[in-house]
Structure 1
């Protein structure tokens, strides 16, 4: 039996960037040949013809009443110097109080903050505007050092490409790793960047992809996720010293090698739980955790759940796709 699609209200406004508006529509929209997982409705405080900052207009059919019944409300962006109307802020508060997940992408974090639903909590926004948001809302913890933050009922992200990562994370949370990977393949983006990855990494692009030793190291490690991988062995595989490898890996990814490797192992375990009937002990071995106890520990500490619960939640829905 196919589950009913979640309803998503994406808020548009006059003068917005069409790219920001397109991100949630692209990631959460219908997929060719697959049953719809989301019912995406673009809405605006004043529906009708809206301008964009790209020199063309868009037509929006739905008003803010779309937020009254939405499971997810997406605020794709905002003008930092513009005060939102009481009507819009009240709609955001009401949707959140009703139980909708509110997602603030990029400068949409300003709407999240102005609505008050994040008071005393953490929000992520584009690094260029983080100080502005801190000054406007000192009661918040404003982060500009990560791609996105998921607090269950409230998800916020950095700009542009990080918004894609954040929306893919939402798909992964709702429908599992396999379906999220299908969506990533459809739109030709990387299937997973951890929310803890740094927003801005000032590292030069190699003149030749073959010169990217860290990418080679990532491929080498992914091919050996079921095996113990020591840092010394990993560095030696790409002819680097441990110290140089550690420094270059962090510069390239914004993460330590061990943290990156743990995320890869967790993704492998999640995929096996969702798509196979392998016993938990075998899943732990195939994903490099060694034992079911280690797998349970990392599942709980990183994902806040257990392997058994994850399989119960996603295995049947995945097998229907």
Structure 2
């Protein structure tokens, strides 16, 4: 069917190792397999073990994968879901497979899957993250890795890692957005009824993701802000809308989102700017104004800090797709 290799779907191998976290194993097929473009599916996802044998999970059930990695062929991306970190002691066969992947193959881990990548030496000297509860164990086992235990995911180019469990969804949506733009990623998020975007730098440590009963949360104000991204709002004005003091609002906002109000607002503005760059012909100056970033210089600075590219290059990349 796909005679032209450039037209075939991007091939993803989800490699279960040892005793696997079942939730993590299911995330990539759920997010990627339903993504489609004008010519059909954008991804081909295969769940594998190293030898094709069944996989035990950490929650008392087993999974029979589609086969082994040899039968899967040459992948474009390999994703390693979480493992039982308390029993994982490395797997030479898996390490050899990962180290032997061709240059340019994207390698990702979800949750404690980072232990597998680190055991293969793929994270030495590189930034990475894993589930916060296993951070101390990870540091002790892999001191050469630049562990960032307080973020949702780390994108280091060809090697990416995510924090625990649901952060794997954030990482997969990030990759989907990087590959094919916001519209495809947002469609996948809507299909799976999950938030379309959380910044990788958002903290894992959210003290109260659901407000206490009887306490007015900050969600109505967040919704209000989304309709006013272009306005030069101050923290005092935002807190006033919520009917709170700046100190109380900032504390509750961080408890509910894991980040500060102004950092969250900046993230939403950058995401809106990305959407405008992808789907409109507005000049970069106007994109900056409509996104609340004031000037093209400011937009350029923030895009480079978050994505490593400027607005013109970003627009060319996604228009090319």
> TM-score, normalized by length of structure 2?
0.91
Given that 1:25 and 1:40 are in contact with CA atoms closer than 8 Å, whether structure 2 keeps it comes out as: yes
Superposition pairs of residues 96-245 of structure 1, within 5 angstroms: 98-203=103-208, 205-207=210-212, 211-245=215-249
**Contact 2:35–2:43 under 8 Å retained in 1:** no
CA contact (8 A) 1:235 1:245 kept: yes
**CA separation of 1:55 and 1:248: change in aligned 2, threshold 3 A:** closer
Instruction: Supply the distance in 1 between the matched residues of 2:48 and 2:140 (Cα, whole angstroms).
Output: 29
1:91 is aligned to 97
Note if 1:284 corresponds to 2:288: yes
SS of 2:82's equivalent in the other structure is coil
CA-based RMSD of the aligned residues comes to 2.2
What SS does the corresponding residue of 1:69 show, helix, strand or coil? coil
Q: Which moved more, 1:291-300 or 1:56-65?
A: 56-65
CA contact (8 A) 1:106 1:163 kept: yes
Distance 2:228 2:133 in 1: 38
Normalised by the length of structure 1, the TM-score is 0.91
Query: Cα distance 1:301–1:56, how it changes in 2: closer, same or farther (>3 A)?
Result: closer
Higher helix share: 1
2:149 touches 2:163 (CA, 8 Å); kept in 1? yes
Alpha-carbon spacing, 1:169–1:32, altered in 2? closer, same or farther (3 Å): closer
Structure 2 residue runs of 5 or longer lacking an equivalent are none
In structure 1, how many angstroms separate the alpha carbons of the residues matched to 2:35 and 2:24? 20
Map of 2:76 onto structure 1: 71
Q: Partner of 1:36 in structure 2?
A: 41
Unaligned runs of 5+ in 1: none
CA positional deviation for 1:58 = 2.6
Q: Which residue of 2 aligns with 1:60?
A: 65
3-state secondary structure, aligned to 1:192 = coil
- Distance in 1, Cα, partners of 2:147 & 2:283: 42
Give distance in 1, aligned partners of 2:58 and 2:131.
18
Task: Assess if the C-alpha contact under 8 Å between 2:36 and 2:42 holds in 1.
Answer: no
Q: In the superposition, relative to structure 1, how do residues 32 and 293 fare at CA in structure 2: closer, same or farther (>3 Å)?
A: closer
Asked if the contact 1:49/1:57 (under 8 Å) is kept, the reply is: yes
CA distance in 2, matches of 1:296, 1:45: 44
How far 1:68 moved relative to its partner? 6.2
> What whole-Å deviation, never above 9, does each CA across 1:98-122 have from its counterpart, x for those lacking one?
2211111101010011010111222
TM-fit CA distance, 1:54: 4.1
Separation in 2, partners of 1:309, 1:172: 16
Partner of 2:274, secondary structure, is helix
Contact 2:206 2:254 in 1 (8 A): no
Once the 2 structures are TM-superposed, how far is the Cα of residue 3 of structure 1 from its aligned partner? 4.7
